[in-house]
A and B are shown apart, each in its own frame.
Chain A
Amino acid sequence: QKEVEQDPGPLSVPEGAIVSLNCTYSNSAFQYFMWYRQYSRKGPELLMYTYSSGNKEDGRFTAQVDKSSKYISLFIRDSQPSDSATYLCAIGSTSYGKLTFGQGTILTVHP
């Protein structure tokens, strides 16, 4: 079993839709959770970072963490074509900064 599982998609939605991206993890020692967006042939861009269960909102993005279920989600409201990218969840277990990544979900938002 992989430490972090993420549905690779691809996911295709119309502009304006609400997008839900999800990851599950197996190690309860994981303490902090990040979401990155990666455009083709570019490095990942940090979108959200949280370390507690619950919701964290930033603009159109909401990160949700449920530590009891070992489940994290990223919601994108009013999705735009510019949101088309690969979304990676990343999870860490220590303050050292070592991350374990999900496989990435390819999202396409069509006009």
Chain B
Amino acid sequence: GAVVSQHPSRVICKSGTSVKIECRSLDFQATTMFWYRQFPKQSLMLMATSNEGSKATYEQGVEKDKFLINHASLTLSTLTVTSAHPEDSSFYICSARVDSAHSGNTIYFGEGSWLTVV
């Protein structure tokens, strides 16, 4: 089946530093990818929609200057958490929509990345 790979799966960083998380679709092209964050025992909250070759669309309340998204190719989107603070510690998950006329809106998720800011 389709696979979406996220890297790193777990990262610890110091407060004030920046962290980059990669999301790759391994066996399909994805013009559109999504970034979510999930707090313990809570559901996924959409942060932004990433479109290949154009600016990301951010959800209300998400700081675009803090969460930088780059979707430079049809198989890779990156999320950079800039000037990270402890409250940014969370589980970040990406998903990718399969580019295919026959797949409808099939969306696959990555394994997630645990970010801990100390």
The chain A residues found within 8 Å of chain B, CB to CB, are 32, 34, 36, 41-46, 49, 51, 88, 92, 95-104
Contacts and interface: CB of A to CB of B under 8 A. Distances in A.
A36 B36 CA distance: 15
Interface in B93-116: 93, 95, 97, 104-112, 114
Interface string B1-16: 0001010000000000
Given A41-B114, A43-B6, A43-B110, A95 B43 contact: no
22 contacts: A32-B104, A41-B112, A42-B112, A43-B110, A43-B112, A44-B44, A45-B109, A46-B107, A49-B105, A49-B106, A51-B105, A96-B49, A97-B34, A97-B49, A97-B105, A97-B107, A99-B34, A99-B46, A99-B95, A101-B43, A102-B43, A103-B42
Size band of the B side of the interface? 20 to 34
B78 interface: no
B75 interface: no
Interface core residue of A42, A92, A100, A102 (most chain B CB under 10 Å): A42
Given A32-B104, A88-B44, A96 B112 contact: no
A98 B93 contact: no
Contacts of A49: 104-106
A22 to B, nearest CB: 15
Nearest to A97: B97
Contacts of A103: 42-43
Nearest to A6: B43
A51 B112 contact: no
Contacts of B107: 34, 46, 97, 99
B32 interface: yes
A36 B4 CA distance: 15
Nearest to A50: B104
Interface in B26-53: 32, 34, 42-44, 46, 49
A88 B105 contact: no
Contacts of A32: 104-105
Interface string B71-101: 0000000000000000000010101010000
